[in-house]
């Protein structure tokens, strides 16, 4: 009965998306009209046969192998790897000299997780334990094994992130500094020339692991983390940096007879887009960009709110983000919609009702960080009876509320709705942050994959 109700609700949600496309966005750039009914993907997913037409991108967090104990192998056993087209590895860092680096520095670089840590047979994708003599171990070797098993899967190294965007502005400041940065990143991650540490690493030791580079500079031309440098000239320098990445990747790709992909994570706020991105210019060099589709509101705010609604009036939304990029000249086919595999939460909520847009005393308690909970942590709450699941099908979002604590999150039904939107608008696909938030059987990625169809 529960499965039938979910399927029926998904069809209602898809119909709502189709209706809203006509009523809320009649002047948007060219897109197909009605959303087709989401088709079930073959159970073996995108890892076998021909690749799907729409991208399925998931971020794998370097640090997730520790506390969360989320290993690369889990992508295989959950069925997620078979459904992905791209695996983005988060993150690579840029040092104060303006170059990509991989040396042991607490909080700044973790070569142990990346390529030195030996894994036993039970934790390895191919079921074989790492040895003391192999030059590549850790996550990088597991990604190599994962790609060998899933031939259509591509892996990109993602550079930066919220905490590690500190030195991008300085590194992008001059033609010489941009060239040095790009050369160092390609040498380290694309050519695979890792630092030698005992038997691990060495020239070419990680060759073939990564198929491209994802730039996650948060944010050129506007404030990001507290120590992240930004300046007005970041906007033109970002364009030049993207051009330098494209030029060097293409030059090396010509030697290897391969196209290396280039992407970026980009913001939702119009003021951040306009401060840091010459959209028409950069989109010529990017294969695609991943749109921020979450953190529209966060648990540090004084009132509860949606963090990832598909539609919203006078507020951030997925649709508003898509429109902002389209209006500035981005091709729809290169826009990939980011979707959260986690929730933002508040506690001490007062004011009654369904809890949304009400005062709160602070972030809600959670396993890993206050105010931030993986979907797999929230799913039991939704089934416990203590929390009520609230849905706004017209605006495409959901939240949990128990009278005191509220969590805003995406579940399979919300993701199905968003997948229908992606298809209806002729967009490039969906991206998930981050894969370690999903259930052990890959429930969220399965919903996305089926919703996007073939």
Query: Which domains, from first to last, does the chain contain?
Result: 2-26+35-344+415-452 (3.20.20.80)
**Region 96-124: what's the mean pLDDT?**
98
Q: Residue 79 in contact with residue 150, Cβ under 8 Å? A: no
What is the three-class DSSP state of 61?
strand
| Whole-structure pTM value | 0.91
CA distance 435 to 442: 9
What is the three-class DSSP state of 195?
strand
- pLDDT of 38 over the 60 cut: no
What is the three-class DSSP state of 129?
coil
**Is residue 327 flagged as an active site residue?**
no
Give the number of other Cβ atoms within 10 Å of residue 421's Cβ. Answer: 28
- Note the Cα 231 to chain centre separation in Å: 26
- 312 falls in which pLDDT band (50, 70, 90)? very high
Reference 79, options 156, 153, 154, 158; nearest CA is 153
CA distance 93 to 111: 11
**Region 17-41: what's the mean pLDDT?**
37
Integer-rounded Cα Rg, in Å, for the chain is: 21
Looking at 261-329, list the stretches that DSSP marks H as alpha helix, in order from N- to C-terminal side: 270-276, 279-285, 318-327
CA distance 409 to 397: 7
Distance set, CA 392 to CA 91, 332, 344, 348, 387 (Å): 34, 26, 17, 23, 16
124: left (phi over 0), alpha (psi -120 to 50) or beta: beta
Instruction: Give the residue carrying structure tokens 């320098």.
Output: 237
Q: What is the pLDDT of residues 215-263, one digit of tens each?
A: 999 999 999 999 999 999 999 999 999 999 999 999 999 999 999 999 9
Model pLDDT, residue 393: 87
Of 43, 108, 145, 218, which residue is the catalytic one?
Answer: 218
């Amino acid at each position: 009965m529960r499965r039938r109700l979910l399927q029926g609700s998904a069809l209602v949600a898809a119909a709502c998306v189709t209706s809203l496309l006509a009523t809320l966005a009649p002047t948007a750039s060219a897109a197909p009209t009605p959303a087709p009914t989401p088709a079930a993907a073959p159970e073996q997913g995108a890892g076998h046969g021909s690749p799907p037409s729409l991208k399925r991108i998931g971020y794998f967090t370097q640090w997730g192998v520790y506390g969360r104990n989320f290993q690369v192998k889990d992508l295989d056993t959950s069925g997620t790897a078979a459904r992905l087209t791209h695996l983005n590895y988060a993150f690579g860092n840029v040092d104060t000299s303006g170059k990509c680096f991989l040396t042991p520095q607490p909080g700044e670089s973790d070569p142990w997780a990346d390529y030195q840590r030996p894994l036993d047979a039970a934790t390895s994708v191919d079921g074989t334990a790492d040895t003391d003599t192999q030059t590549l171990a850790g996550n990088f070797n597991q990604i190599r094994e994962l790609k060998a098993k899933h031939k259509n899967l591509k892996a990109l190294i993602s550079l930066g992130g919220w905490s590690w965007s500190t030195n991008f502005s300085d590194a992008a400041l001059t033609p010489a500094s941009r060239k040095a940065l790009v050369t160092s990143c390609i040498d380290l991650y694309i050519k695979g020339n890792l630092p030698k540490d005992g038997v691990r690493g060495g020239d070419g030791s990680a060759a073939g692991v990564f198929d491209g580079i994802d730039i996650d500079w948060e944010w050129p031309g506007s404030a990001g983390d507290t120590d992240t440098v930004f300046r007005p000239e970041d906007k033109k320098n970002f364009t030049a940096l993207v051009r330098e990445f494209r030029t060097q990747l293409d030059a090396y790709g010509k030697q290897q007879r391969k196209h290396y992909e280039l992407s970026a994570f980009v913001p939702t706020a119009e003021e951040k887009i306009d401060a840091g991105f010459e959209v028409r210019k950069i989109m010529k060099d990017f294969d695609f960009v991943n749109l921020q589709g979450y953190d529209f509101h966060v648990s540090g705010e004084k009132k509860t709110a949606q963090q990832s609604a598909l539609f919203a009036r006078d507020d951030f939304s997925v649709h508003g983000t898509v429109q902002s990029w389209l209006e500035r000249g981005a091709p729809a086919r290169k826009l990939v919609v980011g979707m959260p595999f986690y929730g933002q939460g508040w506690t001490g909520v007062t004011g009654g009702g369904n809890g949304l847009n009400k005062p709160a005393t602070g972030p809600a308690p959670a396993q890993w960080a206050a105010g931030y909970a993986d979907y797999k942590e929230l799913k039991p709450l939704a089934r416990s009876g203590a929390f009520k699941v609230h849905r706004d099908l017209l605006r495409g979002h959901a939240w949990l509320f128990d009278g005191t604590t509220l969590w805003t999150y995406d579940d399979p039904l919300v993701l199905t709705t968003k997948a229908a939107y992606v298809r209806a608008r002729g967009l490039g696909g969906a991206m998930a942050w981050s894969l370690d938030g999903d259930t052990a059987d890959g429930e969220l990625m399965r919903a996305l994959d089926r919703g996007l169809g073939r």
